[in-house]
A and B are shown apart, each in its own frame.
Chain A
Amino acid sequence: MDRLSEVSASLVGGFEYNCIIFFCTLVMAVPLGLVITFGSMSRFKPLKWVSKTFVWIIRGTPLMLQLFVVLYAPGLIFDIPIKSRMTAVLIAFVINYAAYFSEIYRGGIESIPKGQYEAGQVLGLTKPQVFFKVVLFQVIKRVIPAMGNEIITLVKDTSLARIIGVTEIIMCAERFTKQGLIWPLFSTGLFFLAFCGILTLLFGYIEKKLDYYKG
């Protein structure tokens, strides 16, 4: 009984890190992704080129590698080592997910028919008004399913933080494994399952809410 409460306290403590990584990444990567989208859709060629290359690099390399790069590169190159491992994790995650989100947004924006922009323009709306009052909502509706997938992937990716020493849930469980106790490791799955279950329900609800119109 004592063992059980010790294990669960440790796992809950570890999962707190997973949750922090999840929420911080989400809150920062969602808007940052939009900025990258504007960059990669810009008519200003250098900006477009830089954004696209950035997205290519981030999506073309493992997140695990990016974690190491963010942790070590500032110290090696600029001689300003990252003090907190958690900061490194957050930087890597935010950049990585912003790149993925930006591609989802771009797909969504490009799927909106040209006629929507033109109708807004002909009615005398300014470009920002067309984007925020006409297009954005339609984009949100279209990207919600893909965002749901990506965000659920994020939940599970948070456990990668352990490879640079952040004591998230799986790292906590591994300590018990070393003591010959395997079930704590397996039971971490329940945490992820519960979290993803809640998110699935949430996204299902949002999709249903936005289903009041077709198109």
Chain B
Amino acid sequence: MSILEVNNIHKSFGKTKVLQGVDFTMERGEVLVILGSSGSGKTTLLRCLNFLETADKGKIFVDGRLIFDADNKQKPSRAEIRERQLNFGLVFQSFNLFPQYSALENVTLAPKLLAKERADFKRNKAAIYDEIEKNAIALLDDVGLKDKMNNYPCELSGGQQQRVSIARAMAQDPKILFFDEPTSALDPELTGEVLKIIRSLAAEHKTMVIVTHEIEFARNVADKIVFMSEGVIVEQGAPEEVIDHPKQERTRAFLNKLSK
């Protein structure tokens, strides 16, 4: 069964039709890279999948379970929203770390708040927090920032901030981790350290959806590539097919422009 099935997603802002029927499926452990020129709707798609926008039409299934249906006008309860949100993690282009918290606190904040809902929270508070902190330190170690865990975001470079934000997203153990141009806000010399982390997640078979303009990175990290244009998926397939032998004119034009 597919871990994610996205079915006929539409989204408009006023009269602007941004997504016009997006369909794709993903298997567990797969890495999907979304390519497409600026304005093609990649960010909007990720935002719809993470419920930062509500799609006008379409369905989303996770592990075969319907978690979003635009036709269902019933408002989901807070618990349902929370539950479906936790299926996914999102790493933003602009990091969006919480400036008043240290790197470690950024990673532990959400898990600690979530833990308060556990039945055994009152009894085992110290042990639960201890566990969350250990896990967070391990995650920061994975992204190479254990020695910076007590630093505040303003004291970190862009690349370091983005690595903290990856650790923060991982701390909620999402089934699928989304990245929206994770290196676009970084100086060129800092992109490598972030891409390296994403590659190592791919090696651990983390299920991921990555929007990027880094073609070489896409080629070697992706299991499948999707090319979007004007709110629809124009072409999809293995990296060597889409990048090296694109069938569609629009894909070719995009890749040509990128390689210049």
Contact = CB atoms under 8 A, between A and B. Distances in A.
A143 to B, nearest CB: 14
Given A119-B98, A122-B89, A213 B153 contact: yes
Contact of A213 (B52, B96, B113, B152): B152
Contact of A122 (B52, B78, B99, B100): B52
11 contacts: A119-B98, A120-B110, A121-B85, A122-B50, A122-B90, A123-B89, A124-B114, A134-B109, A213-B152, A213-B154, A214-B154
B68 interface: no
Interface string A126-164: 100100011001100100000000000000000000000
Given A118-B52, A122-B88, A213-B153, 4 more contacts: A113-B96, A120-B110, A213-B99, A214-B99
A60 interface: no
Nearest to B79: A126
The 4 lowest CB-CB distance pairs between A and B, nearest first, are A215-B99, A123-B110, A115-B96, A119-B96
Contacts of B92: 115, 118-119
Which residue of B90, B96, B168 has the most chain A CB atoms within 10 A of its CB atom? Answer: B96
A209 to B, nearest CB: 12
B151 to A, nearest CB: 10
A125 interface: yes
Interface in B71-95: 78, 82, 85-86, 88-90, 92, 94
A78 interface: no
Which residue of A121, A124, A213 has the most chain B CB atoms within 10 A of its CB atom? Answer: A124
Chain A binding surface SS class: helix
Interface residues of B, number: 28
A212 interface: yes
Nearest to B110: A123
Which residue of A115, A118, A122 has the most chain B CB atoms within 10 A of its CB atom? Answer: A122
Interface string B108-133: 01100110000000000000000000
Contacts of A119: 92, 96-98, 165
Nearest to A215: B99
Given A122-B52, A123-B168, A124-B82, A116 B110 contact: no
Contacts of A123: 89, 109-110, 168-169, 172
A172 to B, nearest CB: 45
Given A115-B92, A126-B82, A133-B113, A121 B52 contact: yes
Contacts of B85: 121-122, 124
B98 A116 contact: yes
B152 to A, nearest CB: 4
Contacts of B50: 122
